[in-house]
Amino acid sequence: MTFRTPALALGLLAAATAASGIAQDQSTQGVQDQLVMTLNDGVDDPDALTFDWPMLSIGTGQYEAGPTGVTVIRFGRKVHGAVDVRGGGPGTVNAPYLDLGYVQPELDAVVLAGGSWYGLEAVTAVNTAMKDDGYRGGHWNNVGLAVGSIIYDFGGRRLNEIYPDKRLAQAAYRAAQPGIFPVGPYGAGRSAMTGGLFGCNARSGQGAAFRQIGDVKIVVFTVVNALGVVTDRDGKVVACHAGSGWPEDLAAHELLNASPASLGLDWNGERAAEPERKNTTISLVVTNRSMSSAELKRLAVQVHTSMARGIQPFATELDGDVLYAVSTGEVEAGPGDGLVTAEIGAVASELMWDAILSSVPEQPSAPPPVQSGGDASDLQDFVRTYRFSPLASLEVTAEGGRLFGRATGERDVFAIRKGEPVELQPSGPNQFVIPGRYPFSVRFEGDEIVVNPGRWQQVGTRH
């Protein structure tokens, strides 16, 4: 079941608080409590992965005001799990427990979330939801176990610090449905980005792929928020806001071979914005083939290692890469007669590359500037200060028939830096742009300003 967020709620901390009469300098928790949830967004998208496996149910939840979100994968009964952690900055809950390798199946759910370490609240929230709903209890052999990991989706990609909390995670858990997984900027991947190591700052999301061989089923899920670039099977970079002096039809090896120069802010003579340098890719492999704890661990290591083909570079110091491997134990044999970990690992590794590629959405763009034909006096309608959150505000002024923007809060408003007025060039009715490497546009709507209208828009309210 999908709950769409009203257009007004796509904004803003300020809008959410003003509507309820709560002071705008209130606590973050007060803001979180007012947020509108979107559940199972993207399940109607034609690109969503569909598969026949009643044992798995998936639920997603989003706060579009962030945007940020959570993805919950729950199992029909307790299952075996293993984990491979290799990023330099992982954030996990209960992951070390899986390394103990106990014989009995104990895992109920895997939770993937945005919100950096604050988003880990989503994992324990799913655990308490199982108990609150009477599905699990306090007896030693019926205690619920959810594990999970987070990505960093704060920083320069949005103008607030909303995070996926207990309320959102429990709603996503309860909305879970079998056989469908939305790919792209949904759930935990709602504000994912890739390529920050090189200043690509491309939008990303979550991906998935499925294959059945005889009775054996294998499905993989991933939230791609990597410091490196997503790379296709021809070695080409799939998504990147490339600099003007960069090679056309950019290949990953060109970026890697040019390092450390390509890691700087002015490679080939073009100065870029400070890149996003906190990232993570979090993933899950599930098979119905029975596997021991040692076999699951080796499967996790093998598939995680393979991901360095589709993400280059992978598992850096500023990534927190984690992969979970799960066996539901429904099938005792197959897919072939050889070593089960190698067979399933080979298939799952190719599926994971497919999933990585499926996570990449259409990249945002901005319209070109046009020669203004409007009345300069109309610009006065836009002159005011707009507030996005306690962290970010934008002052709009008019001078000499031109419009300017200046960030006045704690942080920049993307291309608009603190204390440095920048001209907003007209691009259409009530719409203005700042030409540059990264798309930046604004649209004025009554008492609101919409920055980068579209899937990742940020809305400020007159203050």
pLDDT along the chain (463 residues), means of 10: 39 35 48 95 98 99 99 98 95 97 96 98 99 98 98 96 98 99 99 95 98 98 98 98 89 92 65 65 98 97 99 96 98 88 96 99 96 74 97 96 96 93 96 96 97 98 92
CATH superfamily name and code, 35-358:
L-amino peptidase D-ALA esterase/amidase (3.60.70.12)
Enter the pTM of the model: 0.92
State the catalytic residues: 280
* Contact partners, residue 60, CB within 8 Å, separation at least 6: 39, 40, 41, 42, 69, 70, 71, 72, 172, 175, 182, 186, 187, 188
pLDDT of res. 27: 55
Domain with CATH 2.40.128 in the chain: 376-462
Give me the CATH topology for the region 376-462. Answer: Lipocalin (2.40.128)
* Residue 262: predicted pLDDT: 80
CATH 3.60.70.12, the chain: domain bounds: 35-358
Contact 82, 96 (CB under 8 A): no
Q: What is the pLDDT of residue 266?
A: 59
- Give the ranges where 136-240 is alpha helix by DSSP (H): 166-174
CB 150 within 8 A of CB 117: yes
What DSSP string runs through 337-382? SS-HHHHHHHHHHHHHHHHHHHTPPPPP--PPP----S-GGGGGGG
> How many whole angstroms separate alpha carbon 101 and alpha carbon 201?
39
